[in-house]
Structure 1
Amino acid sequence: MTPHFLPALVNPPFGDPGLYVDFLFARRALLFDLGELAPLPARKLLRVSDVCISHTHIDHFIGFDLMLRLMLGRDKEVRLYGPPGILRQVENRLGSYSWNLIQSYPTEFVLTVTEFHPDGSAQRASFSSRRVFARENQQELILSGGIVLDEENLRIRAAFLEHSIPCLAFAFEEKLHVNFMKNRLAELGLPVGPWLSEVKRAVLRGEPDDTLVYPAAPGEESVGRGWSIAELKEKVLQVVPGEKITYVTDTAFTDENRRRIVELARGADYLFIEAVFLHVDWERARDRAHLTARQAGELAREAGVTRVFPFHFSPRHLGAEAELRREVAQAFAAPTAAPLQGDEKT
C-alpha cells in the first residue's frame, strides 16, 4: 500500500514532544503539540493546516510564538484544537504583543481555535490579524465521539487522559485508502487524468457500484464507453482501510487511562507514545503522572498497533536511550501480559 502520510517526531526523544504529519500528495501537514519547532524548516511549518494540542505545559506549547511569527504577513488560516482553557490561553498569548502595525499588512492570518471538554461540548472562536486578533465568531458545539475534525477522507479523534490536569491524546485516521494501479490503467488503455480524482471522491462518498464514469485525458472530452465503479474496483483500484496514526503523551498509568489509550490506538499503523522513565523508576513515573518504557510497550501491544515509536524520554536517563527503547520493544513483543509492578487500581 502506497502511504499517503509521513509522520515524524519534531525533536529527538529527549527533546520537546511534537509530531509532524506530512501529506505526501498535497501541500498540507498537521502538527501534534507545539514544543520547540526550530528543527522544522519554514517551508514545512507553512504547510500546517491544523494543530492538535495535548495540554499547555511549556514543553508542549512554547512553539506557538514561532508558528505565529512565521504565519504573519501571509494569507493563511490555521485551525487549533486543545483542552479546556485553550481559548483563553491563546487569547492571552496574542494579547501580550503590540499590534499597532499589523492592520497595514495586505494579508490576513486567521487562527481558529476549538476548545474541547470531557462532556463532548466545545467552544470555537477565531482571531484575525485584520482585527488585531480580537476574539470573534464564538460558537458552542457538540463534538460527538471525540471527533474534533471530520473531512471527506480524514478524521481526528481525541480522548481525555489524566495527567494531574486534563490532557488529550489524538488519533489521525484516513477513512479509506484508495490507490490506482497505473500498469492496469495502461493495459486497459485508460488515460491518467482528473477523472481519476472524481472516481476516488465517488468511492469515498460511497457512490453505488453501478455509477458510470467516463475516462478522459487532461484537456480532452471523454471518449469510449462508461466504466462502472464496480468494474474499476475490480480492475484498477485498490480500496483498503486507511492509515491510522496515534499520538499519546503525558499520561498517568491508571486503569481508565489505559482503557482509553488502548481504545483510541487500536489497530493503529503508527503509535507515538511517551516512555519517560525506565520501569525501575515506576514509582517516580506514578508520582509525576507519566508512563514508563515498559508500560508504553504494553499499551502498544494491547492496542494491536503495527509500529510503536517511543519519545519524551526523561533527562534523568540521558545515556540510557538504548535501554529505554529495549524496554518498550520487549513489552511490545511479549506474547502474554504479565502484571506490571506499579500497576495500581484507581
Structure 2
Amino acid sequence: MSNRELVVLGTASQVPTRHRNHNGYLLLWDGEGFLFDPGEGTQRQMMLAGVAASRITRLCLTHFHGDHCLGVPGVVQRLSLDDVKHPVHAHFPASGLDYFARLRHASIFYERADLREVPVSSDGPVAEGDFGALHARRLDHPVDAVGYRLVEPDRRRFVPDLLAEHGITGPTVGQLQRSGTVEVGHRRVHLEEVTVVRPGQKFAFVMDTRMCDAVYDLAADVDLLVIEATFLTDDAELASQYGHLTARQAGEVAAQCNVRRLVLTHFSQRYPDARRHRAEAAEQFDGDIVVAEDLSRIPVPPGR
C-alpha cells in the first residue's frame, strides 16, 4: 500500500489564531515529501505532527506573502541541522528570486543541506521523477503567484483472467511487461490484450487567487484538491478585491472539475469557525469535503 497523505501544518491566512497556525502543507507521496507554503512556525508544527525535516524533498512556494513563506528560514536551517543528505529542490515564482535569497540566508547558520533553487518562470512542468510530473500555472493575485499540480502517469494492470485465457504464466508475464508483446504458441499477444489502464493519481494545490482559467486547469480530475476558502460569500467583494476565493467558489471548482476529495483551508481570522465554509462549498459540491484543521492527516483517495 503506497503512503500518500497530506499532513496539514497550518490553516490560517494573514493572521494566525489560537487554533490555526500560518499555512503549511506537507504532501507525503511514496518516497517524496512536497512542502507547500511554509508560514511562520512550520518547523514546530512539523515536530508536533511527528514528521522530520528529512521527509522534505521539494519546497514549493506559491508566492511571497508572509503567511506563505516566513517559515522558510527555519525549514532551510533545519535541513542543515539535521544533516539531510538528499537534494531538496525549491520551486517558487522567478520574480521572487531576491525574496527567496533573503529567506534562505535570513540569519547565520552552517549550511550543509543541498538546497537547489528551481525558479518558476512559465506555465508547464517544473519537475519530473518517479512520482510523475509537477506542473505550475500562474494564478490571478495582486502579486506573482502560481498553483501546483502533481500528475502520476497512467499505468497498466494485469488482469489474471485474461492472462489465464491467453496461457501466460510465470516468467512470461515479466517478459510481456518489459517488451510489450510475447509469443504464446503460434500467436503474438500484446500487453493491451491482458491489461487494463490504471489511471495515475493527481493532486492540486491552489492558494491565493481570484477565479481564473488556471484554477480549473490545475483542479481538473484530481484525486485531492487543496484550495483556499479564505472568505464566505457575504464577503465576495472583499475576496475579489484582495485576490482570494470564497468557500462557495471552491465548491464550484470541485464540482466542475470532477474532484474526488476537496480540502478547504486558508481561513480568514474574521470567522470564528469553518462550519459555514463547509456548508457553502456543499451547496455546489456534493462530494467528499474536508475542512482542514491544524495537524490533521488527510489521505489521498485510493486509485480510481
* TM superposition score category, shorter chain reference: 0.7 to 0.9
Q: Given the alignment of the two structures, is residue 32 of structure 1 paired with residue 10 of structure 2, yes or no?
A: no
Distance 1:286 1:9 in 2: 26
Q: Given the alignment of the two structures, is residue 240 of structure 1 paired with residue 198 of structure 2, yes or no?
A: yes
How much is the aligned-residue C-alpha RMSD, in angstroms? 3.5
Distance 1:245 1:272 in 2: 8
Q: Quick one: which of 263, 268, 278 aligns to 2:217?
A: 263
Could you tell me the percent identity over the aligned residues? 25
Matched with 1:137 is none
Distance 2:266 2:153 in 1: 29
Q: Given the alignment of the two structures, is residue 45 of structure 1 paired with residue 16 of structure 2, yes or no?
A: no
Q: Which moved more, 1:52-61 or 1:32-41?
A: 32-41
Q: Aligned in 2, Cα 1:229/1:285: closer, same or farther, shift over 3 Å?
A: farther
Q: Given the alignment of the two structures, is residue 112 of structure 1 paired with residue 103 of structure 2, yes or no?
A: no
Matched with 2:154 is 176
Distance 1:18 1:230 in 2: 46
Q: Report how far residue 10 of structure 1 moved.
A: 2.4
The answer for unaligned runs of 5 or more in structure 1 is 121-144, 203-207, 213-227, 335-346
Which stretches of structure 1, 4 residues or longer, exceed 4 Å deviation after superposition?
A: 177-182, 188-191, 228-231
Distance 1:96 1:275 in 2: 31
Distance 2:182 2:128 in 1: 25
**8 Å contact 2:95–2:144 — kept in the other structure?**
no
Q: Quick one: which of 180, 202, 224 aligns to 1:209?
A: 180
Q: How many residue pairs are counted as aligned between the two chains?
A: 270
Matched with 2:298 is none
User: TM-score w.r.t. structure 1 length?
Assistant: 0.67
Q: Given the alignment of the two structures, is residue 58 of structure 1 paired with residue 66 of structure 2, yes or no?
A: yes
**8 Å contact 2:32–2:131 — kept in the other structure?**
no
Matched with 2:244 is 290
Structure label with greater radius of gyration: 1
Distance 2:91 2:241 in 1: 28
Distance 1:163 1:169 in 2: 11
Summarize the alignment of residues 225-236 of structure 1 with structure 2, pairs less than 5 Å apart. 230=190
Q: Report how far residue 261 of structure 1 moved.
A: 0.9
- Residues 12-67 of structure 1 deviation map (CA, whole Å, 9 limit, x = unaligned): 4643233221134xx43111211242222364431111111101111111221221
Q: Given the alignment of the two structures, is residue 10 of structure 1 paired with residue 9 of structure 2, yes or no?
A: yes
Distance 1:171 1:9 in 2: 18
Ranked by relative contact order (alpha carbons within 8 Å, sequence separation 6 or more), the top structure is: 2
Q: Report how far residue 109 of structure 1 moved.
A: 1.4
Summarize the alignment of residues 1-346 of structure 1 with structure 2, pairs less than 5 Å apart. 5-12=4-11, 14-24=20-30, 27-35=31-39, 36-37=41-42, 38-41=44-47, 43-72=51-80, 73-99=83-109, 102=110, 108-117=112-121, 120=122, 146-152=124-130, 154-177=132-155, 190=170, 202=178, 208-210=179-181, 230=190, 239-253=197-211, 258-319=212-273, 321-333=274-286
